[in-house]
Chains A and B, each alone.
Chain A
Amino acid sequence: MGRHNGVRRVALSLTAAAVLLVPLACGTGGGAGDSVNEAGELVIDGELVADAALMEAALAEGSVTVYSGVPESIEATMQEEFTAATGIDVVNVRLPSGQLYERILTEHGSGVLEADVVHVSDLSFVEDFRESGISRPYEVAAWDKIPEQYRQDEGHYYAMIIGMMGFAYNTELVPAEEAPRTWADLLDPKWTNEIAMHHAGAGGSSWSWALFQRQAFGEEYWQQLAAQRPALYPSTAAITEELVRGEVSIAVNHIGTVNQRQEEGAPVASIYPDDGVTVFPFYTVQTEGSSSPAAADVLQNWTMSTAGARALDTASGEYHPNVDAVPPTVLDEQQPPITDLDLIVADEQDWVGLRDEWVSEWNRIYGYTG
């Protein structure tokens, strides 16, 4: 009978689907990682990152969930190293800044915040998290090694990457000697239609350099740069890819992402501008009421340790705030000590207070609807 046949087929199909899906549903699991010693402590190159009790609790939790605004390629490299060292899995959810912020507030309000740790490059967001009880203060093992400007007084958040905005160019299209060295060089007519960059409201990094440009060179600099008709993108990665593909020759971009592509063999190189490198820290925050608090503590300790600094170096050749960390290397070349760079750190009050008004103005000048 056709009907029974049909019903049987539907039933069979559903059973088959269930059988096929079960293996996919199984997690990875596993024991302690490479750097957990016999006493159960996490010790990396002599540095105690987590004691035995914390490690035991963390391994029992098994995994830690991170909501991250850090470029996924960088985050993935670091998290692989963390998992190898500790045996703790990381579930990473990459979200653009605004969506990440909105989602955390919504989930927190509903009591279903899934993130144990948040990585985001926006000071106003992490301050909001602190004020609204979303973040949990924690003193990392390397507390004394982190300069005060890179940690919140009570340990609500830490700078985990000293992100820098500089220039990048496609080495197939631009000879090294012709690449721009200063912000004024970007206004050269030969770069008209050749520049890719963020729009000012894309995130903490883009707002940091937009603020710097205006404060250092005046509002007319925004107008002059807008006249170059730059291509505007919402994410660092999208800019980098357009540069790698040769759709543009120059980018104003997050240096770490460019370094990473360069290490992979892409024809790009980065430049620290002579007249100011904008700094925008990526912050790491632990959440209150997290379901894996011990695993989050271990991740936080590891991120701020010299092991975390080395992983960051491997991932993107970027500077880390830990004073014991050595300057990073890019293509086997050690970068200058951080003290040699002309770093521009925005005034926190300006960074937060001027933002809404100036981003709107920036959007108007660039003819951009943000």
Chain B
Amino acid sequence: MSAPTLPPEPPLVQPEPEQGRRPDRGGGTTRLVRWLPVTVLVVLLSFLVVLPVGMLVYASFSDVAPRPGAEPSFTLDNYRGLLTPGVGSALLNSVLVSLGGTVAALVMGGGLAWLVTRTNVPCKRLLQVAGIAPLFISSMIGALAWALLSSPRTGYLNQALVALGIPFTFNVYSLTGMILVFGLYYAPYAFMFVQSALSLMNPELEEAGEAHGATKVRVARRVSFPLIKPAVMGAAILVFVLIFENFPIPTILGARERVDTIPSQIYRLIVSAPPDANRAASLGMILMAIMVTLVYIQRRVLAAREYTTVSGKGFKPRVNDIGRWKWVGLGAGLAYLFLAVVLPAFALLQSSLRSHQYIGSFADLFVLSDLSPDAFTSMLTYGPFQLGLRNTLILGVLTAVIGGLLHFVLAYTVLRTRSPGRGLLEYLAMAPVGIPALVIGMGFLWGWTTLDLLPIYGTLVILALAYIARFMPQGFRGVASSITQVHPDLEDSAIVSGANRIRAVWRITLPLIRVGVVSTMLLLFILSMRELSTSIFLFSAETRILSVVIFEQWESGRWPRAAAISIIYSSLLMVLTVISRKWFKTEG
């Protein structure tokens, strides 16, 4: 995929907007035509972005949850209620797991990217796959698998250590454990960022360094690293933000040792009896404030990238011979694949084949008579699974198609028109980076039920809209970066030759950016199929999706089913992605 996540770029709308933008042939453009598209888009984005955030702010200052018929009073108690040691330690834990997880993800993903892009490590194609494959395992499924592998007493890995006589226990129900799991499943983001930066780097700069007598290490330190530093920093902050807002991993792995984070506390405040939605909203505000600050820093860091010479075209990355270390590199890459994919798949398979989960010793894992495929065969008649599968696929397609169209119109308006308010549009489109997914879910729920705008609550439409809002930054950036690669002169030539604007876009621009747009749509498809944090507040009896069904099964203690659905779900994601990429020819 060419647009894995947020490509690290500075804002698209610059103060000096002339270069690369279609000159507006003002003569035939009425004021209405100039204002209408932007107004429509701003209204649309307001519903998607401003409404949920507004509801959150409102809830955080109210004494009852925003729901129809409620009569709230203004209060600051929700914020006063946050001044507890529990919230303080959750905040500290959030920072610690996010920092640790980010470093782990950068080391694993960045290291792998460097091996694949810039060294002569063997089996590059396999390692390339290793860098991306964990994306098909959502963080929730990763957490479930690692709970099976490394719970302190009976985790399969810890049982293996006991069997080998090694007096060591790796307890995944701990800060360190969570950091490892975050690192494993967020490493693909670092991989994609760093790989893209490394492969775009002009090797002539490094060669110049060497020609002037610098050692390889000195070149790496003084030339290579400074060149990719902004991309690495951008990736680091993004991964930090993604980990910071994640609720499934701390909810699944943190309960045993009471390692709370802010998102796991928000979730618990909502599900406890009696629930405290208002305090959850005020915690959501804290989470959002921190994320917005971080995203702001990210934008500042990325703006600094302009002085670099990463220009994106015409280079072939230089490959360094790392001698015998290449085998060490291969080993490290394979170890990552093993920890992130192979072992978790083994654990899920084991769990799915057992009617109950007690394993007396490591050897018990291989007693075949204990295993049965019932959990898989029961899926054929299990209504929630079938409903979830259908809804998940429909939502994936809806989000990809509607999202793809919206992002194209948005990106085109921002980049290729001189409409007023383009900056605001871009700002709104990028804003969800700083909005926690849980908050989008709560905001949509409260907004659409309280204001009674359209009867979409309880339908797949509200989920699709929430997904489009949540993944708008990725979608918008993905399409926008494709559009910037096509010079406006091409489209203008068609107009000069007599085509109208729509025909010119349809016949010239769209075909040229087809790969980028389809890649972005595929990304939206995958991201929405993995979604849990927003859906958990919006699903209804008839709109359950697979990730919700898995979470429900886990929450109900049905490990075999949770594991079986996880395996089917991750395999489906992988197969669909591979087929789609071949089918739409988005590769190479």
Measured in the bound complex, the distance between the Cα atoms of B558 and A237 in whole Å is 8
A327 interface hit (Cβ, 8 Å): no
Look across to chain A and name the residue whose beta carbon is closest to the beta carbon of B277: A102
Does residue B204 face the partner (Cβ distance < 8 Å to A)? no
Give the size range of B's interface with the partner: 35 or more
**A339 to chain B: closest CB distance in Å?**
30
Q: How many contacts between A and B, using CB within 8 angstroms?
A: 199
Q: A residues within 8 A CB of B557?
A: 71, 73, 235-238, 240-241, 257
Report A170 CB to chain B, min CB distance, Å: 8
Beta-carbon contact of A2 and B255 below 8 Å: no
Q: A232-B255, A235-B555 are contacts. A246–B265 as well, Cβ < 8 Å?
A: no
- The answer for the CA separation of A115 and B542 in the assembled complex, in Å, is 11
Q: Which of B389, B449, B583 contacts A107 (CB 8 A)?
A: B449
A203 beta carbon closer than 8 Å to chain B: yes
| B340-381 Cβ-contact flags toward A at 8 Å (1 or 0) | 000000000000000111111000000000000000000000
Query: Which of B12-20, B32-40, B150-158 lies at the binding interface?
Result: B150-158
A97 sits at the interface (CB 8 A): yes
Q: Is A346 located at the chain interface by the 8 A CB criterion?
A: no
From A9-17, A48-56, A282-290, A315-323, the one touching the partner chain is A9-17
Asked whether B293 is an interface residue with its Cβ less than 8 Å from the other chain, the reply is: no
Q: Which of B151, B260, B390, B583 contacts A24 (CB 8 A)?
A: B390
Given contacts A203-B273, A368-B86, contact A106 B67 (CB under 8 A): yes
Establish whether residues A99 and B555, one from each chain, have CB atoms under 8 Å apart when the complex forms: no
CB neighbours of A209 from chain B (8 A): none
Q: Determine whether B57 belongs to the interface, using a CB cutoff of 8 Å to chain A.
A: no
Chain A residues with CB below 8 A from B70, complex form: 109
Q: Does B541 contact A (CB under 8 A)?
A: yes
Q: Report whether B272 and A6 are in contact in the complex, using a CB–CB cutoff of 8 Å.
A: no
A13 and B67 within 8 A (CB):
no
Q: Which of B154, B356, B390, B449 contacts A266 (CB 8 A)?
A: B356
- CB under 8 Å from chain A, chain B span 466-504: none
The residues of A that contact B270 with a CB separation of less than 8 Å are: 98-99, 102
Say whether B360 contacts A172, CB under 8 Å.
yes
Interface residue stretch chosen among A34-42, A88-96, A181-189: A88-96
Q: Contacting B449 at CB < 8 Å: which of A25, A99, A106?
A: A106
A124 at the interface (CB under 8 A from B): yes
Minimum distance in angstroms from A134 CB to a CB of chain B: 11
Give the residues in chain B near A170, CB-CB below 8 Å. Answer: 358
Inter-subunit contact A25/B457 (CB<8 Å): no
Question: Which residues on B sit within 8 Å (CB–CB) of A368?
Answer: 86, 258
A155 CA to B152 CA, complexed, in Å: 48
How many A residues face the partner with a CB closer than 8 A? Answer: 76
**Given A237-B556, A245-B154, CB of A96 within 8 Å of CB of B357:** no
Residues of A within 8 A of B511 (CB): 2-3, 6
A-B contact pairs, 18 of them (CB 8 A): A6-B518, A9-B584, A13-B583, A21-B394, A24-B386, A72-B553, A91-B541, A92-B384, A93-B544, A97-B273, A172-B360, A231-B256, A235-B555, A244-B356, A246-B358, A246-B359, A257-B557, A368-B86
Residues of B within 8 A of A (CB): 65, 67-70, 84-87, 90, 151-154, 255-258, 260, 265, 268-275, 277, 355-360, 383-384, 386-387, 389-390, 393-394, 397, 401, 445-446, 449-450, 452, 455, 457-458, 507, 510-511, 514, 518, 540-542, 544, 552-559, 580, 583-585
Residues on A close to B: CB < 8 A? 2-3, 6, 9-10, 13-14, 17, 20-21, 24-25, 28, 65, 67, 71-73, 91-94, 96-99, 101-102, 105-107, 109-112, 114-115, 122, 124-125, 170, 172, 199, 201-204, 207, 231-238, 240-242, 244-247, 257, 261, 264-267, 355-356, 363, 367-370
Q: What 19 new A-B contacts, CB under 8 Å, besides A202-B273, A241-B557?
A: A14-B397, A17-B397, A72-B558, A94-B556, A98-B274, A111-B68, A114-B458, A114-B542, A203-B273, A235-B555, A237-B555, A238-B255, A238-B554, A241-B357, A265-B355, A266-B358, A363-B86, A369-B84, A369-B260
